[in-house]
């Protein structure tokens, strides 16, 4: 049987694609190529997680949000401070656990986005 070997991409529908691309560029540093996206290349130890949540989970914020992006960062505290200084809506709670540190922000279209700082050495 053939199996999926990883997540090849995440694709978003936007009410204003240019404005949403600009938000991700300006606040998370994601440079958008001429073809409309960005390719991330993994280093040793990198991984991508796929998970399914119950329909009534509040983990994504608004119950109408069908998915949530999770971006890996090197320094969660510095990233959250930078986003707060830029006027981005940042959730005050930060979660620390065995899988690393997690924080949340809202993009230009009010989608909850998760930021993840992996444990040291991962």
What would the pLDDT profile of 103-120 be if each residue is shown by its tens digit?
A: 999 999 999 999 999 888
pLDDT tens, 63-90?
888 899 999 999 999 999 999 999 999 9
Tokens of 53: 């949540």
Tokens of 91: 């959730």
E strand or H helix at 114: strand 112-117
Q: Is 90 exceeded by the pLDDT of residue 2?
A: no
């Amino acid at each position: 049987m053939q199996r999926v070997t990883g997540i090849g991409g995440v694709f978003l529908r936007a009410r204003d694609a240019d404005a949403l691309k600009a938000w991700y560029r300006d606040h998370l540093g994601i440079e958008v190529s001429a073809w409309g996206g960005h390719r991330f290349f993994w280093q040793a130890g990198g991984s991508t997680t796929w998970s399914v949540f119950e329909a009534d989970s509040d983990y994504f914020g608004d119950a109408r949000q069908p998915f949530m992006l999770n971006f890996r960062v090197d320094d969660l505290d510095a990233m959250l401070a930078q986003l707060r200084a830029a006027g981005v809506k940042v959730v005050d709670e930060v979660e620390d656990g065995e899988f690393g540190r997690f924080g949340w922000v809202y993009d230009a279209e009010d989608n909850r986005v998760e930021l993840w700082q992996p444990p040291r050495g991962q």
